[in-house]
Chain A
């Protein structure tokens, strides 16, 4: 009996695996480009994750469903397969069935103004298209959508009896909040041990975090290279791949460290040769959100080709990179809490007060010689939408142009790529850029 017949919930998961295998083959066709070699390694890590989950289901081994920015080093240290319950909207957003699934979610009664990533994730759970884990870790931040997704998961008839744990997020970023969240993380680890049988060896966790620290240090080093004019890379490689390595597939592994070393090496060479993603870098952009994953190829190459506009930095690419002190168990938990709650991209901006929106803009504009700040205005990012006045004022103080677009990162029918291109062109012309 085929795995899919026994486990119909794996239907999308197996299709995605096939999709990424296909992409890997396509990438291999361009193997002589160093950046592409790195993309192949990224896809290898991703495919390894798919393989481990399918193996766990087939052989009845424990595995965990989790979310982004929830201390993935713990699973590495416990040698426990895990997947992100929200991965499909992000990873497979260029697959042919994306728009069909969005429509199916709406027909299910989820409307059309809830964040599409959340809506799709709910749809995949409700339609029995997400692998059923041994236990589930739920996230209650950074936005209203995350706890709602997990409330649906908690209530779903197939998931209802799966043990679940959610870390409660404090709103502030002070020492008291850190202690509170570190305690939540400790409890989460204990919960995983209890419900999977996997053991958390603190020496192994320490070793994992040391690799993880090296990855974050290299990421920071890489970002320093992106300060150069021209930037060694644009949207094609950078934050999404770094994030996926450091925070998802290779969290705290030697392979992850090697991946970052290679990235730095490639970027250094580009800087040395004065090479960037376009022949002439004319506009340096700070794209203050995720990339428009659902229609990335219909828009971002155009920005570079038409305007020489290079996405030097985005929301997921730059944050404090605080190293985790592994000198004691206490410091390890506090370090994990700090990294996942205070530092983590999107979480750091969206979870608490709006200061981080303003501070990050100010820091990145200065550090990366930014010519224009783009707030894409994803339809799901409502706290950010309520911060546009603050962002605009910050940019005014810095004398850097600011544009608010209004789009859906996943659904290109919300604002079409042509509409967004038109808005960007008008903005560049009005500001005398490019």
Chain B
């Protein structure tokens, strides 16, 4: 991506966000390492890491069409699973050694059914994620994670002990802390890193072994520490939505003068704003508690809207935002209704909001520019 950052570490992150198999992941594979893909940020990467595997968050980077998957999906389905399953059918995900799915939404959960029926795969699992977030549901999810741990361990021939899990929890918490430090830098009046660049760093974090990612992120943080960006932006923005993994989308917004300084997205702050409790009695229940209850949720979870809205408002205040952009993939019911409610909450809090519908592959850039420009103008910027 086009960037003013001269950092070598950033360049590696940027490359990773622009491809499926980045050089670091390829080296891992070349050395005999295995990679397990997973859908949705409610799947605990830690279990995969604890098995000595590299977790890979599924996306459809590089997709150019849905010709193959159109026979399996309909025109009222979200473009993310259509592009992603198209790549499954064309063999782009052959580098994966296994898949973990979850009943995240009506569109994405059917990837499991289609994949299982039509594409031979040695290891494909489906987890049952509750809708509520209470103690009973944490109990249910704890059992789900325990079963997943056993299945991963059995299939890949690894005993996933509590020690290995705690080690993975600490490693992933370290990732979260480093990413949070990166976000802290964006609170500056002239942040040294843009929203688009940050997204590239975050996406890369889901596509390479965590030890190596953390090392590079430390390097980037050292380089950025004490520096500042060019400034001159018209407004500071928060972006809220679902699976946004394309930095180019944010770049279009930022090219209009709206600097994205923070977010509440699936590849953004919701991944790392809080940590897994390292002092819990056992690692599996700690992970269930974290993924179901403690971390900021998405609208797929029931009864949590007030907390989600408060999270966005708090982030706006903490990062001194002038406005919010809500992005939604067309046909996503969850984010449509969430943005409907959030718009009312933000209005009451005096924070302007622009709601944008989009396709998974960034398109309609002219219209996006116009909408963002108009939004900035209505804010008097």
Of the 9-residue stretches A12-20, A151-159, A255-263, which lies at the interface with chain B? Answer: A151-159
Chain B residues contacting A355 (CB-CB under 8 Å) are 113
Specify which of B81, B117, B337 is in contact with A151 (CB 8 Å cutoff).
B337
Q: Does A171 lie within 8 Å of B81, measured CB to CB?
A: no
Q: Distance (Å) between the CB of B73 and the closest chain A CB?
A: 5
Bound: A147/B75 CA distance, A = 23
Asked whether B177 is an interface residue with its Cβ less than 8 Å from the other chain, the reply is no
Q: Does A168 lie within 8 Å of B131, measured CB to CB?
A: yes
Contacts across chains A and B counted by CB atoms under 8 Å:
142
Of the 9-residue stretches B102-110, B201-209, B276-284, which lies at the interface with chain A? Answer: B102-110
Kindly report which residue of chain A lies nearest to residue B339, judged by CB atoms: A109
| Contact A144:B334 (CB < 8 A) given known A151-B303, A151-B305, A386-B110 | yes
Q: Does A155 lie within 8 Å of B131, measured CB to CB?
A: no
Q: Does B337 lie within 8 Å of A148, measured CB to CB?
A: yes
A sample of 13 inter-chain contacts (CB < 8 A) reads A144-B106, A148-B333, A148-B337, A166-B302, A168-B130, A170-B140, A176-B143, A377-B74, A383-B107, A385-B77, A387-B110, A387-B113, A392-B71
Specify which of A115, A166, A388 is in contact with B132 (CB 8 Å cutoff).
A166
Asked whether A41 is an interface residue with its Cβ less than 8 Å from the other chain, the reply is no
Contact with A along B114-144 (1 / 0, CB 8 A): 1001100000001111111000110010010
Bound: A354/B111 CA distance, A = 10
Kindly report which residue of chain A lies nearest to residue B302, judged by CB atoms: A147
Asked whether B330 is an interface residue with its Cβ less than 8 Å from the other chain, the reply is yes
Bound: A21/B369 CA distance, A = 54
Since A150-B302, A152-B341 are in contact, a sample of 14 more A-B pairs with Cβ atoms closer than 8 Å, ordered by chain A residue number, is A108-B340, A114-B333, A118-B333, A141-B131, A144-B300, A151-B341, A168-B131, A170-B128, A180-B140, A184-B136, A353-B126, A385-B74, A386-B72, A390-B72
Kindly report which residue of chain A lies nearest to residue B70, judged by CB atoms: A389
Asked whether B343 is an interface residue with its Cβ less than 8 Å from the other chain, the reply is yes
Tally of B interface residues using CB under 8 Å: 49
Kindly report which residue of chain B lies nearest to residue A174, judged by CB atoms: B128
Contact with A along B48-59 (1 / 0, CB 8 A): 000000000000
For the complex of A and B, list the 3 residue pairs with the smallest distance between their C-beta atoms, beginning with the closest. A389-B72, A386-B110, A171-B128
| Contact A109:B340 (CB < 8 A) given known A166-B132, A168-B130 | yes
Contact with A along B336-354 (1 / 0, CB 8 A): 1110110100000000000
Q: Distance (Å) between the CB of B9 and the closest chain A CB?
A: 39
Q: Distance (Å) between the CB of B150 and the closest chain A CB?
A: 14
Q: Distance (Å) between the CB of A345 and the closest chain B CB?
A: 17
With a 10 A CB-CB cut-off, give which of A172, A386, A390 has the most chain B CB atoms: A386
Specify which of A169, A354, A389, A393 is in contact with B131 (CB 8 Å cutoff).
A169
Interface residues of A (CB under 8 A from B): 108-111, 113-115, 118, 122, 138, 140-141, 143-145, 147-152, 154-155, 166, 168-172, 176-177, 180, 183-184, 350, 352-355, 377, 379, 382-383, 385-390, 392-393, 404, 406
Asked whether B331 is an interface residue with its Cβ less than 8 Å from the other chain, the reply is yes
Bound: A388/B72 CA distance, A = 6
Chain B residues contacting A148 (CB-CB under 8 Å) are 299, 333-334, 337-338
Chain B residues contacting A170 (CB-CB under 8 Å) are 128, 130, 140
Contacts of B275-310 to chain A: CB distance below 8 A: 299-300, 302-303, 305-306
Bound: A172/B109 CA distance, A = 13
| Contact A171:B103 (CB < 8 A) given known A110-B336, A180-B140, A389-B72 | yes
Q: Does A168 lie within 8 Å of B333, measured CB to CB?
A: no
Q: Distance (Å) between the CB of B104 and the closest chain A CB?
A: 9
Q: Does B77 lie within 8 Å of A382, measured CB to CB?
A: yes
Chain A residues contacting B73 (CB-CB under 8 Å) are 385-386, 388-389
Q: Does A151 lie within 8 Å of B128, measured CB to CB?
A: no
Bound: A152/B302 CA distance, A = 10
